Chains A and B, each alone.
Chain A
Amino acid sequence: MQRLHSVEPRPGDPAITPALIAEHGLTVDEFDKLLAMLGREPTFTELGIVSALWSEHCSYKHSRPLLRTLPTDAPYVLQGPGENAGVISIGDGLAIAFKIESHNHPSAVEPYQGAATGVGGILRDVFTMGARPIAMLNSLRFGSLDSARVRYLFAGVVKGIGDYGNCVGIPTVAGEVAFDPSYEGNPLVNAMCVGLLHENELIRAVAQGVGNPIIAVGARTGRDGINGASFASEDLSAESEAKRPRVQVGDPFTEKLLLEASLELIRSGAIVAIQDMGAAGLTSSSAEMAARGDVGVTIDVTKVPVREEGMTPYEILLSESQERMLVVAKQGRENEVTAILEKWDLTAAVIGEVIAEPVYRVTEGDRVVAEFPGIRLVTDCPVYTPEAYESAEVVRLRAIDVSQVAELPEERDPLWTLKELLSSPTIAAKTWVHRQYDTTVRTNTVIGPGGDAAVVRIRGTERALAMKTDCNGRYVYLDPRVGAQIAVCEAARNVACTGGRPMAITNNLNFGNPKRPEVYFQLREAVRGMGEACRALGTPVTGGNVSLYNENPTGAVYPTPVVGMVGLIDSIAHITRSHFQEEHDVIVLLGEPDRNIGGSEYLSRIHGMVAGPPPACDLDGERALIDALVEAIQGGVVRSAHDCSDGGLAVALAECCIMDRGAQRGATVDLKHWRELPARALLFGEAQGRVVISTNMPDTVLSIAKNHGVPGRIIGQVGALDAPLHITTVANELSAPLAKLDEAYHEAIPRIMSRAAVVSP
């Protein structure tokens, strides 16, 4: 075994007491493991390092065994999980790097900076792969907008995302926002970035080459965000507010400089590896790069450019100051690195080197302040598979026969129900949100926010990318396995609706405290369902993020495994929009409605109930639907395609009519074929595997569907501009002037947000 230096405590370091250990989030067993690894007491600095690297946020200690069960391979996957971002080939020597990441905890206490730095972090994860970011997406969850505090969080998060991405100049093209009381006090802020690179410029964060210098570049290191990774690994509580100083502060202008400088560095060939100093800052970036390369490293903290005097090694190592990178350069080419950074007015300082000796060593000048054997700092991290069982409450809720829920008197008019659903903040238009995002910069956005999926063309080729994030946390709560399957399928369906062939996903698993058996059960089952769906659809997982401890004093958030799907559109001629395009086009429903209303927005919004089984998910059927849809679109016979999801068929039809405020078209729809189904299930049930298509060649569409074994039926006809939406069922008739639907759908969020927000708690 490698003999380690004896590392003396640094003068002024606090004594290592059980209280200090607990404060660092280490359990007694974990501390024993650390003692065994070192063969001695750790120093304060070492305790800090281990606390960060073994935090849930950095180590995935409760999720790793589950994540290993996910499919990660496909012939076009160039980089799977374990790197800064996943990478897939899209042909012609081009590739896409993409990843999603959460910033939930910071955003709960400091929404503006929390969300902004989340965007910054995921941008860096993508451009450190050698990719130029071409699109941002985000997936947001908040409590009810009736709360002034929630409106404050919502407004702050949206502004934070916008200000950061807008300044860097990356279009924010898609995402989803949902509201539910379960997210009260613990919003979810997941940001996804997609970047474009040449396959031959792909670079991995693997430290290599003994003697190669390790260089800190970008912003200087300050005292902000210290212990942020640990903060993100515990439940939010009344005390969390006091941890606001642990939230980092973003500087998008520096990020823009860093982006350009990093891409130049990678193209220069002067470096072998580059990684963001993200969560746990210098500590995790250096330890992870060393572990991937199976090499030793030594770092001298006195060489790290700092913002203020007197920072201790502990602070320098654990700072989460933003817009910093760690680079391993080729020996002898340091000057090239420095020159590129000077061009962009950024600092670069050699702070250490790759060494043959298998140790992770930190010095303060000549004094060794931390030393760990080899890569065990990363590999020795404990892994847990805690007890799991399903919550009795969820079992009870799922078993409720929701078909017995009595209709409200108002529901006699289905238009009333439809308007209620269209004005539900989860369904209503999110223009208030994305109007604050630059969606058109870089001039490639073909379909921006509001469509089924975003579509960004790949300049210089005939192709385009489709991308979307999705997850219905209510379904996952009621049945984690099925809910996670649906998340994958819905994202895939959305991508397919624009003409894209779904290729791969990145995932963001947002769950509560895994030490609670009910929560771990949700995590385990959701990962299982996600894996099943990814296998069925042929869309491997190329990376992602796990965010646990999403709890507030009233309990855990809905389990929310967000799926970020990327798909490829072969020809820009195939790009298809969601809303009706031409009068007299025939409306076809692919897929079948059913009688279930469990887990629906209808039950939640109209009856205040979250109960019943969520919609069933038929993975083979979903696959067939996607195949049929893509074939029909590529055959040029589809004029519009829109996924049928929250709010069911009636909402989907209404959206097809009113989504594009510049050209709203009515429709006449006849659903009398389904005479056995209760009208509310037919109109507002959320049966999966359904798409509303408009076409001028319905016979071809139906024959393609039939060949794939997908049910298809003509249900109506597109009307004139501003004509009403008319839907007939056996039980009732709904006739809606578009102005009324428009008002419900487009004005709901602006109206709510014109109310005051509470600026500070």
Chain B
Amino acid sequence: MRFGIVTFPGSNCDYDAYQAVVETIGEEAVYLWHKDHDLKQSDVIILPGGFSYGDYLRAGAIARFSPVMQDVIAFAKRGGPVLAICNGFQIACEAGLLPGALLRNASLKYICEFVRIRVESNDTTFTNRYAVGDIMRVPIAHGDGRYTADDETLNRLEGDGRVVFRYAGGPADADEWWSPNGAMRAIAGIVNETGNVLGMMPHPERAVDSLLGSDDGLRVFESMLARIGV
């Protein structure tokens, strides 16, 4: 099984995603250069975190027009699985692969910390190894992570069970909805209508080794292997 990891010039989590794939589930990973129209026969595409083209305009606004994204969009439309993390989530929204947008954090500050998120749906390519209600401890690291959409979209996402992760409680309270960035309905991750594109602000690839504070993100990769594994 081959994971294609897109490298935009300002990607900086491509390496982390690569290591997570290779070191944890032992699968093959290749980098996909933003200027190429070549997905290298990847079975899964990861849009990693970072600052694609500097993101001075609006996170992901330029990336959606890059050569590689035309192929990624076509791949996703054919049902190919795409894991879009952080900046990748922003790009996926800009590219129309996912509904809604990610605005500047409510605090107007960049936030990096471990947060707790709750698995809201395990009926996906990316979360089938979790139970609904599982609490994961994963890092976030973003300035623009406030998920925003109109009520109709939010209602549809919830109605369809497409909210996959929600920020969960402070340190002691896992039941209270709470988001560090002001995300609407505490949404941390969603899938598209066909379930093959997951966008999430937290970084599962940074939570695959307990030495670094958590391995709660490991099952995201194991889920993909279980569902897509070739």
* Residues in A lying within 8 Å of B, measured CB to CB: 159, 162-163, 166-169, 251-254, 256-257, 260, 344-345, 434-446, 457, 459, 572, 661-662
Beyond A159-B110, A169-B51, A253-B56, 6 additional pairs, beta carbon < 8 A:
A166-B112, A435-B111, A436-B112, A443-B205, A443-B209, A661-B171
Query: How far is the CB of B89 from the nearest CB of chain A, in Å?
Result: 16
Q: With A253-B56, A457-B211, A662-B171 in contact, is A442–B112 under 8 Å at CB?
A: no
Q: For A256, list chain B residues within 8 Å (CB).
A: 9-10, 12, 51
Q: Is the CB of A440 within 8 A of B12?
A: no
4 nearest A-B pairs in the assembled complex, by CB-CB distance? A169-B12, A253-B54, A438-B141, A440-B139
Query: How far is the CB of A164 from the nearest CB of chain B, in Å?
Result: 11
CA–CA, A186 and B155, complex, Å: 53
Q: Is the CB of B141 within 8 A of A166?
A: yes
Q: For A260, list chain B residues within 8 Å (CB).
A: 9
Q: Which of B15, B51, B211 contacts A446 (CB 8 A)?
A: B211
CA–CA, A439 and B206, complex, Å: 11
Q: Is the CB of B110 within 8 A of A443?
A: no
Q: Check if B123 is an interface residue, CB within 8 A of chain A.
A: no
Q: Check if B13 is an interface residue, CB within 8 A of chain A.
A: yes
Q: For A253, list chain B residues within 8 Å (CB).
A: 9-10, 51, 53-56
Q: Is the CB of B110 within 8 A of A162?
A: yes
CA–CA, A252 and B10, complex, Å: 9
Q: Check if B74 is an interface residue, CB within 8 A of chain A.
A: no
CA–CA, A344 and B53, complex, Å: 11
Measured CB to CB, the nearest residue on chain B to A345 is: B9
Q: Is the CB of B19 within 8 A of A446?
A: no
B161-199 contacts to A, CB under 8 A, are 171
Q: Check if B16 is an interface residue, CB within 8 A of chain A.
A: yes
Query: How far is the CB of B18 from the nearest CB of chain A, in Å?
Result: 10
Against A, the Cβ 8 Å flags (1 = close, 0 = not) of B35-63 are 00000000000000111011110000000
Q: Check if B118 is an interface residue, CB within 8 A of chain A.
A: no
Q: For A163, list chain B residues within 8 Å (CB).
A: 110, 143
Query: How far is the CB of A348 from the nearest CB of chain B, in Å?
Result: 16
CA–CA, A608 and B211, complex, Å: 43
Q: Check if B203 is an interface residue, CB within 8 A of chain A.
A: yes
Q: Is the CB of A441 within 8 A of B141?
A: yes
Q: For B113, list chain A residues within 8 Å (CB).
A: 435
Measured CB to CB, the nearest residue on chain A to B140 is: A440
Q: For B139, list chain A residues within 8 Å (CB).
A: 440
Q: For A169, list chain B residues within 8 Å (CB).
A: 12-13, 50-51
Question: 22 pairs across A/B with beta carbons < 8 Å?
Answer: A159-B109, A159-B110, A163-B110, A167-B12, A167-B51, A169-B51, A253-B55, A254-B54, A257-B10, A260-B9, A434-B112, A436-B109, A439-B141, A440-B203, A440-B206, A440-B212, A441-B49, A441-B206, A442-B16, A443-B209, A457-B211, A661-B171
* Residues in B lying within 8 Å of A, measured CB to CB: 9-10, 12-13, 15-16, 19-20, 49-51, 53-56, 109-113, 139, 141, 143, 171, 203, 205-206, 208-209, 211-213
Q: For B12, list chain A residues within 8 Å (CB).
A: 167-169, 256, 441-442
CA–CA, A444 and B212, complex, Å: 7
Query: How far is the CB of B85 from the nearest CB of chain A, in Å?
Result: 12
Q: For A446, list chain B residues within 8 Å (CB).
A: 211-212
Q: For B208, list chain A residues within 8 Å (CB).
A: 443
CA–CA, A440 and B51, complex, Å: 16
Q: Which of B9, B171, B212 contacts A443 (CB 8 A)?
A: B212
Q: For B51, list chain A residues within 8 Å (CB).
A: 167, 169, 252-253, 256
Q: Is the CB of A166 within 8 A of B9?
A: no
Q: Which of B10, B54, B111 contacts A436 (CB 8 A)?
A: B111
Query: How far is the CB of B41 from the nearest CB of chain A, in Å?
Result: 23
Q: Is the CB of B9 within 8 A of A440?
A: no
Measured CB to CB, the nearest residue on chain A to B35 is: A343
CA–CA, A442 and B19, complex, Å: 9
Query: How far is the CB of B62 from the nearest CB of chain A, in Å?
Result: 11
CA–CA, A661 and B53, complex, Å: 37
Q: Which of A167, A439, A442 contacts B54 (CB 8 A)?
A: A167
Measured CB to CB, the nearest residue on chain A to B139 is: A440
Query: How far is the CB of A145 from the nearest CB of chain B, in Å?
Result: 17
Of residues B20, B139, B203, B208, which shows the largest number of chain A Cβ atoms within 10 Å of its Cβ? Answer: B139
Query: How far is the CB of A746 from the nearest CB of chain B, in Å?
Result: 12
Q: Is the CB of A440 within 8 A of B112?
A: yes
Q: For B50, list chain A residues within 8 Å (CB).
A: 169
Of residues B53, B111, B112, B113, which shows the largest number of chain A Cβ atoms within 10 Å of its Cβ? Answer: B112
Q: For B141, list chain A residues within 8 Å (CB).
A: 166, 438-441
Q: Is the CB of B16 within 8 A of A438?
A: no
Query: How far is the CB of B33 from the nearest CB of chain A, in Å?
Result: 9
CA–CA, A260 and B33, complex, Å: 13
Query: How far is the CB of A498 from the nearest CB of chain B, in Å?
Result: 13
Of residues A159, A167, A434, A440, which shows the largest number of chain B Cβ atoms within 10 Å of its Cβ? Answer: A440
Q: Is the CB of B54 within 8 A of A459?
A: no
Q: For A440, list chain B residues within 8 Å (CB).
A: 112, 139, 141, 203, 206, 212-213
Q: For B54, list chain A residues within 8 Å (CB).
A: 167, 251-254
Query: How far is the CB of B112 from the nearest CB of chain A, in Å?
Result: 5
CA–CA, A438 and B12, complex, Å: 11
Q: For A437, list chain B residues within 8 Å (CB).
A: 110, 112
Q: For A443, list chain B residues within 8 Å (CB).
A: 16, 19-20, 205-206, 208-209, 212
Query: How far is the CB of B5 from the nearest CB of chain A, in Å?
Result: 14
Q: Is the CB of A167 within 8 A of B10?
A: yes
Query: How far is the CB of A172 from the nearest CB of chain B, in Å?
Result: 9
Query: How far is the CB of A658 from the nearest CB of chain B, in Å?
Result: 13
Q: Is the CB of A344 within 8 A of B9?
A: yes
Query: How far is the CB of B106 from the nearest CB of chain A, in Å?
Result: 14
Q: For A444, list chain B residues within 8 Å (CB).
A: 212
CA–CA, A440 and B13, complex, Å: 10
CA–CA, A168 and B50, complex, Å: 8
Query: How far is the CB of B105 from the nearest CB of chain A, in Å?
Result: 10
Q: For B9, list chain A residues within 8 Å (CB).
A: 253, 256-257, 260, 344-345
Q: For A251, list chain B residues within 8 Å (CB).
A: 54
CA–CA, A187 and B107, complex, Å: 25
CA–CA, A57 and B139, complex, Å: 40
CA–CA, A345 and B35, complex, Å: 11
Query: How far is the CB of B197 from the nearest CB of chain A, in Å?
Result: 23
Measured CB to CB, the nearest residue on chain B to A261 is: B9
Query: How far is the CB of B176 from the nearest CB of chain A, in Å?
Result: 17
Q: For A167, list chain B residues within 8 Å (CB).
A: 10, 12, 51, 54-55
Measured CB to CB, the nearest residue on chain B to A464 is: B211
Query: How far is the CB of A244 from the nearest CB of chain B, in Å?
Result: 21
CA–CA, A446 and B12, complex, Å: 19
Q: Is the CB of B19 within 8 A of A459?
A: yes
Measured CB to CB, the nearest residue on chain B to A443 is: B16
Q: For A438, list chain B residues within 8 Å (CB).
A: 110, 112, 141
Measured CB to CB, the nearest residue on chain A to B17 is: A443
Q: For B16, list chain A residues within 8 Å (CB).
A: 441-443
Q: For B49, list chain A residues within 8 Å (CB).
A: 441
Q: For A439, list chain B residues within 8 Å (CB).
A: 112, 141
Measured CB to CB, the nearest residue on chain A to B14 is: A169
Query: How far is the CB of B10 from the nearest CB of chain A, in Å?
Result: 5
Q: For B211, list chain A residues within 8 Å (CB).
A: 446, 457, 572
Q: Which of A252, A257, A442 contacts B15 (CB 8 A)?
A: A442
CA–CA, A168 and B10, complex, Å: 7
